[in-house]
Structure 1
Amino acid sequence: MAVERKMQKTIIGFVPYQSPIYALHPLVRLVIFLVTGFIPLFVEIPEVNILFLIAIIGLFIYSKVDLKKLKMYMPMVFTVGLFIFVTYLFFPIAKGEKILLYQLGAVKLYYNSIMWATCIYFRIIALLFASIFYFSTNRERDMLIAFRSLKMPFVATYFLGLSLRATGIFMEDYQIIREAEQARGLDVSDLSFVGKIKHFSMYMIPLFTLSIRRCEEISVGLYSKGTVISNKIDGRKRPDYLMSKNPVTQKDIFYSAAIVLFFLAFCSLQVFGGVFSLDNSPINIAILKLLKGG
């Protein structure tokens, strides 16, 4: 008796087959990803990017993605924040009003640098989680359908598909290596932060070795099947099986156009009106008044 699978593999995770996100065509999902990937770049106000990040988390919940899987990205979130704040601490920016908060020897802590570091941090985190959401809810097949819907050349989509497949295999190999180490009794929780970084760098040797082997296997497999990287066979255009099963409807075009128009309207508010500039941040305004005693 066949067992019905409830979960399907995406590029970096697993999502239920009945996830509501699959009611949208892959083209619409790609447009959402591109828009959410650019919106934080036009926003300087940290509060807006925090709300945007909450909206992305809401999409995770709506799509029934297991939020426990996000724990693996927490070290990255912490490392990015540490790097940004240290950089702005030792290399303060000239933009904004300089207000000295603290000085220790030659190191000076300016409010404007810390505030800009906060803006940059939440901007990057918002972009990071938008990317994680897309790759957590889409398969290589979905991305190929989306790009072919945009009339991308067959060779480009073929190369993209192989690259995405290699990315998924890379993540699986990484998980296998970690489980093998845990089975041998390795406990990385006892390592220091620096020790964890050194240990992670040691993963690169077996991972690159496996990647080279996978590339050779894929090459041999394609050659044995007589695969030709062209969208034509005997001078005729190759039938596109994926697009025949997932045609773009007028509804999909309408959704995509509406999302793009929203994005353009949102960006115009910042480009022509500076609505989302740091000077309009309520938190920044309140802190500046407090520091100036006003």
Structure 2
Amino acid sequence: MQNMLMGRYIPGDSIIHRMDPRSKLLVMIAFVVIIFLAHDWLGYLLLVLYTLAGVLLSKISVSYFLKGLRPMIGLILFTVIFQMLFTNGQHVIFSLWFIKISTESLINAVYIFFRFVLIIFMSTILTLTTPPLTLADGIEKGLGPLKKIKVPVHELGLMLSISLRFIPTLMDDTTMIMNAQKARGMDFGEGNLLKKIKSVIPILIPLFVSSFRRADDLAVAMESRGYQGGDGRTKYRQLKWKMRDSLLVVSIIIMTILLILWSKVS
């Protein structure tokens, strides 16, 4: 659980930390879209350089990004192997029964690996350099135009901010419960798949009880303080769009144009 970085924020004074969360969200969404425009090594090289620039500018140790990658290794390997084994290609380099590995399938597997890693790194930059509540404020501001069609933007923002706020707390609770169960002799690593699934029950039940108790305490606290959201409510954190945010958006636009032009040329 210590490897889960969702909802965790590392304080810092880098240029990425000081950027408006809306600009970082825009770039993150655009990056996830344009990564599918890359179809050769040069396109992925541009995306890798762009991601490395973000990592360096964030001034956060690479070890944190590797921690964010660890929980996804199983999914990445499964997807890469599946792509490698079951993608048809003309140049077969290995064949055994119904399994055929071709040059095309290997290349596609490598590209999928890079897609996973780059998206995880970019999302890790976003979460590690943006306080959860500030990120929620940015999403609420970004969804502001939806108020015109009666979408409860403020309520959505409140739900998101509370969820992000308590993700690290839930992770810490899970670690504490697991340690308590281990002290009682519980072993989470032994047995077949069914036994491993059953071993999760002693964690889930107290975790659900703790979560509902925290939610009830929070609801009582908000009600007793007369909380009332909606229009007219001010915020302690004021978001300001600055020149560096515009430059960040321009950078992803330039990256998009380069990838589109290169895909047409190649």
Q: Same fold, TM exceeding 0.5?
A: yes
CA shift in 2, pair 1:204/1:83, >3 Å: farther
In the TM superposition, residue 56 of structure 1 has moved relative to its aligned partner by: 2.6
CA shift in 2, pair 1:108/1:260, >3 Å: closer
* Worse-matched range after superposition: 170-179 or 83-92: 170-179
Q: Which runs of 5+ in 2 are unaligned?
A: 145-152
Check if 1:65 corresponds to 2:46. Answer: no
Check if 1:164 corresponds to 2:177. Answer: no
Q: Normalising by structure 1, what TM-score?
A: 0.68
Aligned to 1:247: 240
For 2:42 and 2:180, how far apart are their aligned partners in 1?
43
For 1:147 and 1:168, how far apart are their aligned partners in 2?
20
Instruction: Say which SS state the counterpart of residue 223 (structure 2) adopts.
Output: helix
Structure showing greater radius of gyration is: 1
- Let me know the Cα RMSD of the aligned residues: 3.6
Aligned residues: 251
Aligned to 1:174: 174
Decide which of 109, 116, 119 is 1:124's aligned counterpart: 116
Q: 1:26–1:143: 8 Å Cα contact kept in structure 2?
A: yes
CA shift in 2, pair 1:24/1:75, >3 Å: closer
Which amino acid is 2:215 matched to?
C
Aligned to 1:30: 25
Instruction: Say which SS state the counterpart of residue 143 (structure 1) adopts.
Output: helix
Question: In the TM superposition, what are the counterparts of 1:119-268 in structure 2 within 5 Å?
Answer: 119-150=111-142, 152=144, 153-177=153-177, 191=189, 198=196, 202=200, 203-231=203-231, 237-243=232-238, 246-249=239-242, 251=243, 254-255=246-247, 257-259=249-251, 261-266=253-258, 268=260
Q: 2:140–2:156: 8 Å Cα contact kept in structure 1?
A: no
* Worse-matched range after superposition: 51-60 or 111-120: 51-60
CA shift in 2, pair 1:62/1:257, >3 Å: closer
In the TM superposition, residue 134 of structure 1 has moved relative to its aligned partner by: 0.8
Which amino acid is 1:167 matched to?
I
Identical residues among aligned pairs (%): 20
In the TM superposition, residue 129 of structure 1 has moved relative to its aligned partner by: 1.5
CA shift in 2, pair 1:181/1:71, >3 Å: farther
Decide which of 91, 94, 98 is 2:90's aligned counterpart: 98
Which amino acid is 2:168 matched to?
G
In the TM superposition, residue 82 of structure 1 has moved relative to its aligned partner by: 2.2
